[in-house]
Amino acid sequence: MSTAAEYEVIRAGASLGEGILWDSRRGVLWWTDIHGRALHRYDWSGGTPEVLTAPDRIGSFGLVAGSERLIAAFADGIAYYSPVTREVEWLARPAEVSAGVRFNDGRIDRAGRFWVGTMKESEPRTASGGLYSFDRSKGLRCHVRDVRISNSLCMSPDGAVLYFADSMARTIWAYDLVEPAGELRNRRVFAETPKGVVPDGATVDADGCVWSAQWGGSRVVRYAPDGQTDRIVAVPTRQPSCVCFGGPNLDVLCVTSARVELDAAALAAEPHAGDVFLYRVGTQGLPEPEYRP
């Protein structure tokens, strides 16, 4: 079940690489370095990496239909953001996202809404975070409260199931995502991780399987739709942080990682911590949904 797969490396050296997604319209791989206050942009055809400085930390972001801008979850709010001009147009800055709490993992759902969670940054990790959705018609809505670190947001191929984790609980939950209002119902445990290993970013492939980057576990785990472990891909650093499928054929598993919290000895042993790893895993992903203004 465990696979020591071959991989390629995109050098990034991110402090906290996260939020990776494939932009099929531009042929570009994007990811954020949260602590580095930067967006990374990798042109697939030219193999050229670029680092774009952001005005604040970006926890996650999504593509916007018909626009060159992104929808971004900055530390304290959601905004349209132009990576080129650095122009920010605020959409929501909720009062409950206060000192010590920030936006974290996020994804666009199949209906074009932006889902994003918050987290308590400092110790103790109190349950001060929540899970929100944002769209123009209903604005910002909180669906889940009492969360410590929001993560693992992704949706089933038909959009009917939303996956979400509180990393500190080491649990990925599945919810029914009920349309047309986008309500969450029927929470159940989808998967749990062992002690010392926490679920971080996740994505869903064309078969409906969930790929979970597991911080502290040096691995990405593929779960079948029933939550059973289907496959484990070894990652050459202990802190893989997020995943997506990229490339023109959506057949490359792209994995971000982090250097944060690693001491000098660990960094010497893990020289690619903070880089992005590319795996050919024989599986195809799904096009990234776009936010619909």
Query: CA–CA separation, 40 vs 151, rounded Å?
Result: 20
From first to last of its 293 residues, the chain has per-residue pLDDT tens of 555 678 999 999 999 999 999 999 999 999 999 999 999 999 999 888 899 999 999 999 999 999 999 999 999 999 999 998 999 999 999 988 877 899 999 999 999 999 999 999 887 788 899 999 999 999 999 999 999 999 999 999 999 999 999 999 999 999 999 999 999 999 999 999 999 999 999 999 999 999 999 999 999 999 999 999 999 999 999 999 999 999 999 999 999 999 999 999 999 999 999 999 999 999 999 999 999 98
Q: Residue 22: helix, strand or coil by DSSP?
A: strand
Half-sphere exposure of 139 (CA within 13 A, CB side): 4
Long-range Cβ contacts of 88-94 (<8 Å, 24+ apart) = 88/55, 91/134, 91/140, 92/134, 92/139, 92/140, 94/132, 94/140
pTM reported for the whole predicted model: 0.96
Q: How far apart are CA 293 and CA 273, in angstroms?
A: 36
Write down the pLDDT at residue 125: 83
Output DSSP code: residue 275: S
Domain harbouring 186, CATH code: 2.120.10.30
Domain ranges, residue 222: 2-291
DSSP-assigned letter for residue 165: E
pLDDT at 63: 98
- Count of the separate structural domains present in the chain: 1
> Which 8-state DSSP code applies to residue 258?
B
